[in-house]
Structure 1
């Protein structure tokens, strides 16, 4: 092996562990941020509290996040990714009907609210006040996932009107599930049940071909 080959190999060997350590450190900081949000609320989260909860220096926090808003945005992104993965697993599973799938989607959402620290208050960050920059709405993101499921599982291609109806159904479900957890850490079952009902009615209205045996 010549010097050039040895040098390239050495850089690769050193670089990957550094990336892995940084990823683990960021995850630890976000875990600490989630705990601060749970204990003190979004409004009171500071980089100093994150550092204290993580057992890290304030300089370590600033190495990855320039301010508290950056911490919250990163935590919201992680929350969104976690609920997307949870729903993606539901859509990949075999269910006997579309309505069984919907109920499984609601179950996945409820479980995310119950088990992911900070999700009840922060969710995907839609409510964050970022000044002139706004967080995009979450519902359209899930429309694409659901539309793909309908295409692959039920061989249904949604038109623009049906996509809008699905977006409204998902938005209504999200609002009801969010409200269910507003004052109840386990989720008020009345609003969770209403969320399933609204989602069912909206989808059957938009896709009448699925009403029979749905």
Structure 2
């Protein structure tokens, strides 16, 4: 619904109607529309992390560069196929009125960093941790724009993001 009408117009009554539930049932789990959006964002973050790990396992990625490509591919696929994922725009706190988007992006960056350390031996330092957050923030902005038309995503824009993210991470990793 957020994808269709935007956060500003979303009400808990609309959520209840779409879910086929009573308003009381919705309020039992979500005190307000912000809680609904937060729950959706958490679910989307978890789904992206799970898909990323599955893609790494399926592809047999041997380098962190291949892992970055897999992450971009999985994120782009979720933007293309899941309305809830497109609607959240993780780093855009103005959309929801909450301050939790920053925490979600930090958590996503931390999770990606941990996977890269565990699987590819990347170092654990503040600069690399910050780079993952920067790439997560910029990636969601670029991928949201690239998927404005979900039937015809701007693949050139996605390719440009892939090039930028790889170059940035290579420079950060090289600097140690």
What TM-score do you get using the length of structure 2 for normalisation? 0.82
Hey, what does 2:43 align to over in structure 1?
78
Superposition RMSD on alpha carbons, in Å?
Answer: 2.5
State the Cα distance separating 1:160 from its structure 2 match. Answer: 1.9
Runs of 4+ in 1 over 4 A off after TM superposition: none
Report if the CA contact (8 A) 2:89-2:141 is conserved: no
Hey, what does 2:113 align to over in structure 1?
147
Report if the CA contact (8 A) 1:114-1:185 is conserved: yes
Higher relative contact order (CA 8 A, sep 6+): 2
What residue ranges of structure 1 are gaps of 5+ in the alignment? 1-35, 210-214
From 61, 71, 82, the equivalent of 2:26 is: 61
Hey, what does 1:90 align to over in structure 2?
55
From 71, 76, 82, the equivalent of 1:110 is: 76
After superposing the two structures, state which structure 1 stretch, 162-171 or 68-77, moved more: 162-171
2:65 aligned with 1:99? yes
Report if the CA contact (8 A) 2:142-2:161 is conserved: yes
CA distance in 2, matches of 1:170, 1:158: 17
What CA deviation, in whole Å up to 9, does each residue of 1:112-147 have, x standing for no partner? Answer: 1122222212244742443xx511424422332333
After superposing the two structures, state which structure 1 stretch, 160-169 or 42-51, moved more: 160-169
CA distance in 1, matches of 2:52, 2:75: 7
CA distance in 2, matches of 1:60, 1:164: 40
CA distance in 2, matches of 1:70, 1:80: 15
State the Cα distance separating 1:200 from its structure 2 match. Answer: 0.6
2:142 aligned with 1:176? yes
State the Cα distance separating 1:193 from its structure 2 match. Answer: 0.7
CA distance in 1, matches of 2:156, 2:9: 31
From 109, 121, 129, the equivalent of 2:87 is: 121
Structure-to-structure mapping, 1:7-86, within 5 angstroms: 36-86=1-51
Report if the CA contact (8 A) 1:166-1:206 is conserved: no
What TM-score do you get using the length of structure 1 for normalisation? 0.69
> 1:148/1:76 Cα in 2 relative to 1: closer, same or farther (>3 Å)?
closer
> How many residues align structurally?
172
